[in-house]
Amino acid sequence: MATITTADGTEIFYKDWGSKDAQPIMFHHGWPLSGDDWDAQMMFFLQAGYRVIAHDRRGHGRSSQSASGHDMDTYVADVVALTDHLDLKDAIHIGHSTGGGEVARYVAQAKPGRVAKAVLVSAVAPIMVATETNPDGVPMSVFDMVREQTATNRAQFYYDFTLPFFGYNRDGAEVKDAVRQNWWRQGMMGSVLAHTLGVKAFSETDFTADLKAITVPTLVLHGEDDQVVPFPTTGKVSATLVPGAKLISYPGYPHGMPTTHADVINADLLAFVKG
């Protein structure tokens, strides 16, 4: 397995496919998954001639189950270590959910020449939790429930969570149990400690300053029926904060739309990447 070792001794697993001379696209996954959640996009862009990279965040997937560092700044430091190791230049960074927040912070701070474009897909930015300045956000009690269920009832909670994640609880939805099982498989590969502590990172981190600092072309994609990361307070707002960002919202699409609607999402991503 391809891994790097970070300054604190954590091993970060990554996949790196395609010609090293091709433009790199790096994918950043959501909680509590792994780089495998990007299978449909990795294969699509590999076949389109791009170099594709995806890592497993610390405590997730095949990366080591470190006891610390489950905060957004450390997640981003791990990305810096990996992109420096691979010497990625003019890369396109695409992040889903928690990975979208990771992309926002990484891109805002990236060294000149490292990043060409950014895409935030169903991203947690600018901030998820309800606060005095974000009164319409998700109540803290919801995240407390996620923490408690992850720590004490993870296997059943993760399987049940796939229903709203993919919109499979909506009338007329075509439920694919193998997709649910694959989500569950990815989640259960990771560390229960990392996943429990990571709830704070994706729900309470404020990415407002990061979004305002992004200077590369940016695309925001979000499903309007996202039951996990509500569009009105996240994607819709993020698109107004990133200078010149383009927003595409999809009526009826769920949080897991890169899987459920891969054909549409891939086409829109390719148009942005090539444009």
Q: Which residues are the active-site residues?
A: 97, 226, 255
Which residue bears the tokens 């009105």?
232
CA–CA dist 134, 60 (Å, integer): 29
Which residue bears the tokens 């928690």?
98
CA–CA dist 179, 260 (Å, integer): 9
Contact (Cβ atoms closer than 8 angstroms) between residue 119 and residue 219? yes
Contact (Cβ atoms closer than 8 angstroms) between residue 156 and residue 139? no
Contact (Cβ atoms closer than 8 angstroms) between residue 227 and residue 252? no
Q: Which of 187, 180, 128 is nearest to 153 (CA)?
A: 187
CA–CA dist 38, 186 (Å, integer): 12
What's the Cα-to-Cα distance from 185 to each of 36, 92, 126, 159, rounded to whole Å? 10, 28, 29, 9
